[in-house]
Structure formats: C-alpha cells, structure tokens
Structure 1
Amino acid sequence: MSSEYRTGREGEFTYRGHTLDELQEMSLDEVAELLPARQRRTIQRGLSVQQEKLRERAREAGEQETANDPIRTHLRDMPVLPEFVDLTFEVYTGQSFERVRVEPEMIGHYLGEFQLTRTSVEHGQAGIGATRSSKFVPLK
C-alpha cells in the first residue's frame, strides 16, 4: 500500500491521531474503537457472513498489488476499514455496479455513501398529452 496521501497539519494523513500505516496494523477491535458509533456498533455486534467474505476478498486483493481487478459487492452497508484503502470496489446501486476507489478519507463511512441510488431529476418540456397550462414556457 502506498502512503503518499498528504493531508493534515504535518502533511501526513491521520485518522483520529493515527497514521494510515498504524491503522492498517491494528486489529479490527482496535480500529472499531476509533470509528463513529454506528460503525463501531456494527463491528462489535459482529460482521455478517457476507461482510466477512468481502473483508477476506479485500485482504487477498490487498496482498496482490499487481491485480487491480475491482471487487464487486452488493454490500452498501459495509463500513470502510483501513485495509480497504487503495482498493477499487464496484458497489451495486440497484441498477448497475459503479466503481469506488477507496481513499484514506473514506475510513469510517459506508461503501454505499459514495454511490447514490437515485438520480437527480431534470425537468424538461411538457410531454405529449400535457394540459395547456403546463405547456406554457415563458419567453426570455
């Protein structure tokens, strides 16, 4: 894993006073103590079978630094852990899989936060069968 991320006062990425390398060497329970309450509770109650499988696949992908194949998942509720940094996931949005490259700043969030499931609505002109009043478009 590369530690070329520069943020913070000293120029090195830190999460609650710990560098990325320190976070990656911590156990899951030690990392859980640093996470926000909702993510900490998820880990303390125990990750689901699917979440453990995803974590194992991420660990294997992290060891193979040559392969950049994205990890496909439906688990939008998986907390981003320090071992996921620099990996690429394909998160399911309900219609398709969208790529998410995990950065250190994403630690403590959920994978689903980085791919929206709803698109923003952009209204155009009134369609066929619209009423007369809804067809009115003011001239500029």
Structure 2
Amino acid sequence: MVKEYKYRGLQIEELKAMSLENLFKLLPSRARRSLTRGITDGKRKLLEEVKAANAGKTNTQIKTHLRDVIVLPYFTGITIHVYSGKEFKPVVIRPEMVGHYLGEFVLTNKRVVHGAPGVGASRSSLYVPLK
C-alpha cells in the first residue's frame, strides 16, 4: 500500500482546495513572507503557465530561470524545466516539494572529474596513480 503524503496533517487535495491566505499560514515563515510581499511579473507568468498546464490547455514545456519560486500545491504532477546556469533540467513536482524553492532541486555545479594530462604537460604529471 502506498503511503499518502500529508503536509502539516492535510492531504494534497485539501491543500489545493484551500484559499491562498489559509495556505500561507501553513508555510514556513520565509516562504510566507515572500508570498505575502507580492508576486512579481515573472513569477505571475510562471504561475499562469502552471495553471494552464493543470487545466490541460497547453502541451508545451514550462521553462524558467526563476529558481526562487516557492512550490505550491497545485504545481504537483507537472514537469518544470529549471535553468541550472548552463542548461534547463526537468523537475517533476511531487507533493513532498510543497513549500520549498524550485532551485533546491536543480544543482548549479557538477562533480569534478579529472582526466589525463593534456598535450604539453610535464613528464612528472604523466604519472597518474591507480587506486
């Protein structure tokens, strides 16, 4: 049996039906402050795209540079492509992500993988220890 996710004791369907003012009371203080101070034009455009995708009115990819958007309950089930500084990486929004920022789920740096020494390297740098 699959465990039903609850956010602060409420199921995701209850959160979707809740008014924004009541939802803001459940969020952490940083997210609550950010949302009550107003939504900028860029964030408003993203929210409209998400609502259109929920309604099935659009089938295009949702791409955004906005990493500071707080995930709201009606984002669940949608794939949003978030910019990592180099490329857009897809993020499938799950109920566990509600209240977090989009940027938390896309890393901006990669793990460093060192290769062999290049042309013109000194003789001593040709030695690469085997582990």
TM-score w.r.t. length of structure 2: 0.87
Measured in 2, the distance between the counterparts of 1:132 and 1:41 equals 59
Measured in 2, the distance between the counterparts of 1:17 and 1:41 equals 22
Which residue pairs with 2:108 in the alignment?
117
Aligned-pair identity in percent equals 48
User: Which of 18, 23, 46 is equivalent to 2:10?
Assistant: 18
Gaps of 5+ in 2: none
Q: Is 2:98 aligned against 1:107?
A: yes
1:98 counterpart SS class: strand
Q: Is 2:131 aligned against 1:137?
A: no
Which residue pairs with 2:26 in the alignment?
34
Q: Is 2:70 aligned against 1:79?
A: yes
Measured in 1, the distance between the counterparts of 2:35 and 2:19 equals 12
Gaps of 5+ in 1: 1-5
- Per-residue deviation at 1:139? 5.1
Measured in 2, the distance between the counterparts of 1:139 and 1:81 equals 49
2:80 counterpart SS class: strand
Q: How does 1:59-70 map to 2 (within 5 A)?
A: 59-64=51-56, 68-70=59-61
Mapped contact 1:71–1:88 kept (Cα < 8 A): yes
- Per-residue deviation at 1:98? 1.5
Give the aligned length. 130
Measured in 1, the distance between the counterparts of 2:98 and 2:122 equals 51
- Per-residue deviation at 1:68? 4.6
TM-score w.r.t. length of structure 1: 0.82
Displaced runs of 4 or more, over 6 A: none
2:67 counterpart SS class: coil
- Per-residue deviation at 1:133? 3.4
Measured in 1, the distance between the counterparts of 2:125 and 2:45 equals 53
